[in-house]
């Protein structure tokens, strides 16, 4: 698997996370969280996947325009090899030359593709807002919260299982259209 494929796999793994949520040692949201069904927001950040082969990093831009829609842009260093994933209700796809493609045709290794096909995409947006739900053998911790306008949102999230860990840093939130 190439470095870009590993980085994209990191995001796909990150997208399927949701297990054992905590707020981190001595940390709590300490303010009002956006509702689980908030829409019209976006967040940009970085993700790092560490496994037996090393650590790979990617940039992400997650757009949640409506309750049942998401658009996720994943890119390697300097924007290399960007891929956009889309969710409309239960349907998850990506675009190649402007044409919808199923996730099983993502240019990734088999493990990453299998992860993408089993993502709990309907709950990922809630998780990014600080409402993770249990999924498989992942342990997820919100290790740092941040204030954005009048809201408290996750800034750093760590997820791990026996064979890998993922760290996410959410840097820039845009809440323009939220209530």
User: Token digits for 121?
Assistant: 């995409």
Ranges of H-type helices in 57-133: 110-117, 121-128
- The pLDDT of residue 154 is 94
* Contacts (Cβ under 8 Å, ≥6 apart) of 78: none
Spell out the domain ranges in the chain. 3-174
Sign of CA dihedral 170, 106, 51, 22: positive
**CATH class of the 3-174 domain in this structure:** mainly beta
Average pLDDT over residues 162-173: 88
Beta pairing, strands 21-22 & 139-148: parallel
User: pLDDT digits over 33-80, tens only?
Assistant: 899 889 999 999 998 888 777 888 889 899 999 999 999 888 877 767
Output the pTM of the full model. Answer: 0.76
- The pLDDT of residue 6 is 53
Query: Is the Cβ–Cβ distance between 58 and 7 less than 8 Å?
Result: yes
Angle (CA) 67 117 49, round 5°: 90
Query: Is the Cβ–Cβ distance between 171 and 57 less than 8 Å?
Result: no
Query: Is the Cβ–Cβ distance between 48 and 28 less than 8 Å?
Result: no
């Amino acid at each position: 698997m190439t470095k870009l494929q590993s980085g994209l796999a990191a995001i796909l793994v990150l997208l399927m996370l949701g297990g054992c949520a905590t707020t981190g040692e001595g940390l709590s949201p300490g303010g009002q969280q956006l509702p689980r069904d908030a829409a019209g927001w976006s967040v940009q950040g970085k993700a790092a996947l560490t496994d037996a082969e090393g650590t790979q990093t990617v940039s992400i831009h997650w757009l949640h325009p409506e309750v049942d829609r998401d658009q996720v842009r994943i890119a390697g260093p300097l924007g290399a090899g960007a891929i956009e994933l889309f969710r409309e209700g239960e349907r998850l796809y990506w675009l190649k030359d402007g044409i919808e493609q199923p996730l099983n045709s993502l240019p990734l290794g088999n493990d990453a593709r299998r992860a993408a096909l089993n993502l709990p995409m309907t709950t990922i947006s809630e998780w990014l807002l600080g409402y993770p739900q249990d999924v498989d053998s992942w342990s997820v911790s919100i290790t740092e919260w941040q204030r954005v306008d009048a809201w408290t949102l996750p800034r750093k999230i760590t997820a791990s299982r026996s064979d890998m860990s993922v760290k996410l840093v959410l840097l820039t939130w845009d809440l323009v259209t939220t209530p």
